[in-house]
Amino acid sequence: MYKDKQVRRAKLINGAQVKHAKVPGGSDHPDGAEEKLVIDREGNILDRPEPLHAKKASKDQPKGDPGKKKSGAEAKVNGETEIPADFDELKSRLEQYVGLNQSFDVIFREMVFGGQKTGIFYYNGFAKDFVLTSILERLSYADQVRREEQHHVRRLTRDESGHLSEEKERKLDVIKLFDEALIPHIQVKKTDKLKEAVDNVAMGGTAFFFEGHKEAVVVDAKNFPVRTTEEPALERVVRGARDGFVETSLTNVTLVRRRIRDPKLKLEIMQVGTRTQTDICLAYIEDICDIELVEAVRDKIKQVKVDGIPLAEKQLEEAIFNKKWNPYPMVRFSERPDVVSAHLLEGHLILFVDTSPSVMILPTTFFHHVQHAEEYRQTPIVGTYLRWVRFVGMLCSLFLFAALVSDRVFTGVEAGGARVYRPAEAGKNPAARPVSDR
């Protein structure tokens, strides 16, 4: 009884009555008859038996027919490739493009909702289980929602023309129905390009394909493996915030947005790497930061042509500045959201690189590299004093020891108005002694 109920739900979206399929080995299907979708108890589409007349036609077709349709492996997927309406062609393209049925984490599950055959495409490690479960529970009411939408179409048709038009009755926008009424999620968008759908899935989303339609609905329900926002080990403070950046750029951007609620704070997203497609985020305050600097950095990032930047911010720095023999740092790195927020208010440009907790701050000078987050937690007098103590300590470490050694070891002799230093006494080199004397 349960199986019969599931089979009755497998109807075509255009409302046509579906004929029963004969069991394999029986007589041929009558002309014009369509097969009933065969599903299991979980709602998965099972492979349908191929009609006998289709098998006969395939046998009669000569090999190497020029009119034969190209397979998905022969077709190249690019930015302009449309989504195939047929699921067999779609799966062939996905096999060629992303390794469907080859990579164990690439999933394409076929189900039926409201008589509409639906394909759910996602990467297993990125899927957020409780969000997708909530969506599937909502999609189980597709039959009821579809009947209400068709009743609404009939009522509007009668009000406008006075009689029911069968052609207008069947004009039900399936994509719009699923997007606006059946998918309870806040980050949803539609696309008709296969590459865009695959790229969104590679970033953690889930794509819903509908057989007979060349559009897909992409749901941003991602779940990255990420650690907690703990305090960074290199920038610990006695007083202050204990949170720090992590390897997920969205979390890092949220930590900064929480501290700076200015609508002038702009966050631009870019991608670097033809293979890794790493997300790069440019953060700046529009009316404080130099716009020419933002445009210059943006143009340099666009000119980066590499396979990928798996080492994140360090590879990006080398690609942008292209310094060969300059040993001095050109940017400052920080893992503290409060430090980055303070630099944003000073007019700096911030670069977030996905998969890295270190954030790039530019432009920087020598004095930016000797600052510490603890100084921001002190009064101006104490903070300034601590900073000058640090400067004096650096100068002493560079010059004071060398001056003391030269004063003790060398003696000055006036020679022609100039003071010349020479050793006070002849030194002895232990390495010059014979081996027997050692």
**Cα-flanking dihedrals φ and ψ of residue 342, to 5°?**
-65, -40
pLDDT beyond 80 at 302: yes
User: How high is the pLDDT of residue 166?
Assistant: 47
Tokens of 156: 């509007």
User: How high is the pLDDT of residue 237?
Assistant: 86
> Are the C-beta atoms of 369 and 332 separated by less than 8 Å?
yes
The amino acid that residue 79 corresponds to is: G
CA distances from 54 to 27, 31, 38, 50, 196 (A): 13, 11, 18, 7, 34
Q: Quote the CA–CA distance of 196 and 216 in Å, as a whole number.
A: 10
Least confident of 36-40, 271-275, 404-408: 36-40
Apex CA 14: angle with CA 11 and CA 19, to 5°? 45
Tokens of 140: 């189980």
Least confident of 11-20, 194-203, 340-349: 11-20
Angle between helices 249-259 and 337-345 (to 10 degrees): 60
The 10 Å Cβ neighbour count of residue 423 is 9
Q: Quote the CA–CA distance of 218 and 79 in Å, as a whole number.
A: 16
Nearest to 406 by CA among 423, 426, 392, 429: 423
Give the mean pLDDT of 410-426.
58
> Are the C-beta atoms of 339 and 232 separated by less than 8 Å?
no
User: How high is the pLDDT of residue 374?
Assistant: 82
Higher-pLDDT residue of 431 and 329 is: 329
Give the residue ranges of DSSP H helices in 280-321: 291-302, 313-321
Nearest to 373 by CA among 260, 231, 237: 237
pLDDT-above-90 percentage for the chain? 32
The model's pLDDT over 124-158, given as tens digits with 9 standing for 90+, comes to 888 888 888 888 888 887 777 666 666 665 555 55
pLDDT beyond 50 at 369: yes
Mean pLDDT of the chain: 77
pLDDT-above-70 percentage for the chain? 68
User: How high is the pLDDT of residue 175?
Assistant: 79
Which segments within 233-277 are labelled E, that is strand?
A: 265-272
- Name the one residue in this structure whose structure tokens are 């300034």: 384
User: How high is the pLDDT of residue 148?
Assistant: 66
Q: Quote the CA–CA distance of 15 and 169 in Å, as a whole number.
A: 10
Tokens of 39: 């599903």
User: How high is the pLDDT of residue 328?
Assistant: 82
